[in-house]
């Protein structure tokens, strides 16, 4: 693992696909408050808080593999720091589907991304039931930890033991199993609370309804819903993520068609029935936040650029314009029915690129600027700058400058000057989403820590790496006592 300037990044050795794919295995055990031993660097004194991560933890049952890792049951990892010493606890999210399948060691539910039950098409046709796999994100709301999966309701977990409490309606806010986004945003800049959790749910169909919710997440009212509105838009909406500014919640409706027939007939998973439509126009939906200046006003709809977006980085307001940074793909990436996700050809899949949309709310026009051609994902900003102008962003990226490949580096980019520096886990390390934790005693935007769960292909195990957010120097590396597959999203709880 090395730290170096971006101009040297092309000199990394190419990756070994077996090193990368070796991460795909079942998490073998659950641990409780297991102290982590440092393998490099030093403990960070006075560091207190908890790193939470979610991702698929069960990828195989009874000899059958999931078709896509996104179909794997969720597993929460908690790494709690007490004066710099970390302790690890991990638990599978004990959903109803998990318990049913664990009992017989067999998949009995179809997966959204193509996992089928045994028995072929006849045994899968007309079976439209989904298993809530609770595998995408994990956040703290009020006095509970929530394991999130966007197609259904959240699962509440005990914040100390991580024991699964069960599917929750958040004290009646949600209907049973109502969709609840896996990408809530923590707003630290609202005038109404010191911390708001802003999130949404979508009901899709020929018309799609977005429910925008804002929860107080600090003090005596922590966990209370304080703002709630619904807006309906034309067309099928595939909305994985969104962005916020002080006054707006911003959604990008990708130009996607959904043909459910292959799913109904047992031939494909639901996500495999999504397809980009070059004859359709992507749309931005601007929904006024109830905590902002335009409360109660109708939403705006504006044409969006071509491309497909899973994740947004940040947005901010500039006069009558909205500046929105996102990761754009040329097309919707999907693992086909006859492909093996552990042996995919990266060259056949579109790479994600950091791009900036500048949207004029008065003229309803949009300009698109490419910030970097290098493949990247999971980009973040300092949480204190979320919804405001941010100078820096940190992201997972490929080691190579062009083309698609596994994510093996952490890149910091100056969003004003476009200057970059990078840290490499190559040739045998593979990175995940960086979690940026700002320094408590500094007002400088890039002072703080980056936490990265890394797959160490050389030793076939997981590491926790802590980098200095300013210069990407390694501060500490811990070898984890469990092996964690390539995961998804996480958060930091003070």
Phi then psi dihedrals of residue 101, to 5 deg: -75, -35
Q: How far is CA 391 from CA 242, 327, 352, 418, 461, in A?
A: 20, 17, 21, 10, 34
Beta strands in 193-264 (DSSP E): 196-203, 207-216, 224-234, 243-244, 248-253, 256-258
Identify whether the C-beta of residue 330 lies closer than 8 Å to the C-beta of residue 307.
yes
Contacts 24+ apart (CB under 8 A), 352-355: 352/310, 352/327, 352/328, 352/376, 352/377, 353/327, 353/328, 353/329, 354/313, 354/325, 354/326, 354/327, 354/328, 354/379, 354/393, 354/395, 354/413, 355/305, 355/307, 355/325, 355/326, 355/327, 355/328
Predicted local confidence at residue 277, as pLDDT: 86
Q: Which helix (H) or strand (E) holds 437?
A: strand 435-438
Predicted local confidence at residue 6, as pLDDT: 41
CA distance 423 to 249: 33
Segment 147-192, tens digit of pLDDT = 999 999 999 999 999 999 999 999 999 998 899 999 999 999 988 8
Peptide bond into 453 cis (omega under 30): no
* 2-21+165-493 placed in CATH 2.120.10: yes
- 489 carries a ligand binding annotation: yes
Q: How far is CA 300 from CA 63, 281, 286, in A?
A: 50, 15, 5
Residues in the chain: 494
- Of residues 96, 168, 176, the one with CA closest to residue 130: 96
Is-above-0.85 flag for pTM? yes
**What token pair was written down for 289?**
């936040």
Predicted local confidence at residue 182, as pLDDT: 97
Predicted local confidence at residue 9, as pLDDT: 37
Predicted local confidence at residue 1, as pLDDT: 54
Mean pLDDT, all residues of the chain? 94
Predicted local confidence at residue 278, as pLDDT: 85
Positions of the chain with pLDDT under 50 = 3-13
Give counts: helices (H), strands (E), the chain: 4, 36
- 183 carries a ligand binding annotation: yes
Predicted local confidence at residue 175, as pLDDT: 95
- 240 carries a ligand binding annotation: yes
């Amino acid at each position: 693992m090395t730290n170096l300037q971006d101009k040297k990044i092309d000199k990394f050795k190419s990756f070994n696909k077996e090193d990368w794919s070796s991460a795909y295995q079942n998490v073998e055990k659950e641990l409780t408050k297991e102290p982590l031993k440092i393998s490099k660097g030093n403990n960070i004194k006075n560091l207190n808080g908890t790193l939470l991560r979610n991702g698929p933890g069960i990828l195989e049952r009874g000899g059958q593999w999931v078709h896509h890792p996104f179909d794997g049951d969720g597993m929460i990892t908690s790494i709690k720091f007490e004066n710099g010493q970390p302790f690890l606890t991990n638990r599978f999210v004990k959903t109803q589907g998990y318990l049913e399948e664990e009992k017989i060691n067999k998949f009995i539910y179809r997966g959204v991304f193509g996992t089928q039950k045994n028995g072929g098409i006849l045994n899968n046709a007309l079976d439209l039931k989904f298993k809530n796999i609770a595998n995408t994100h994990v956040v703290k709301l009020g006095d509970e930890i929530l394991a999130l999966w966007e197609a259904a309701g959240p699962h509440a977990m005990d914040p100390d033991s991580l024991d699964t409490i069960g599917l929750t309606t958040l004290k009646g806010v949600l209907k049973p199993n109502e969709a609840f986004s896996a990408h809530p945003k923590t707003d630290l800049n609202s005038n109404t609370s010191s911390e708001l959790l802003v999130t949404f749910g979508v009901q899709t169909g020929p018309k799609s309804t977005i429910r925008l919710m804002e929860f107080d997440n600090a003090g005596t009212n922590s966990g209370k819903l304080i703002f709630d509105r619904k807006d309906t838009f034309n067309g099928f909406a595939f909305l994985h993520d969104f962005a916020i500014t002080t006054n707006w919640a911003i959604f990008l409706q990708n130009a996607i068609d959904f043909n459910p027939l292959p799913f109904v007939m047992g031939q494909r998973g639901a996500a495999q029935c999504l397809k980009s439509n070059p004859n359709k126009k992507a749309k931005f939906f601007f929904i006024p936040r109830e905590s902002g200046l335009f409360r109660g006003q109708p939403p705006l709809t504006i044409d969006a650029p071509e491309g497909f977006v899973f994740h947004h980085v940040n947005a901010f307001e500039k006069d009558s314009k909205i500046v929105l940074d996102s990761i754009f793909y040329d097309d919707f990436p999907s693992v086909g029915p006859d492909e093996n996700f552990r042996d995919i050809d990266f060259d056949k899949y579109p790479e994600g690129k950091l791009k900036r949309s500048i949207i004029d709310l008065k003229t309803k026009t949009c300009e698109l600027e490419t910030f970097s051609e290098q493949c990247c994902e999971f980009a973040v900003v300092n949480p204190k700058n979320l919804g405001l102008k941010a100078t820096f962003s940190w992201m997972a990226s490929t080691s190579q400058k062009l083309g698609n490949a596994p994510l093996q580096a952490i890149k910091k980019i100056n969003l004003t000057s476009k200057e970059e520096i990078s840290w490499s886990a190559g040739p045998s390390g593979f990175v995940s989403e960086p979690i940026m934790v700002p320094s408590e005693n500094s007002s400088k935007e890039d002072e703080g820590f980056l936490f990265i769960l890394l797959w160490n292909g050389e030793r076939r195990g997981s590491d926790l790496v802590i980098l200095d957010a300013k210069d990407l120097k390694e501060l500490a590396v811990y070898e984890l006592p469990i092996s964690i597959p390539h995961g998804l999203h996480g958060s930091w709880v003070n």
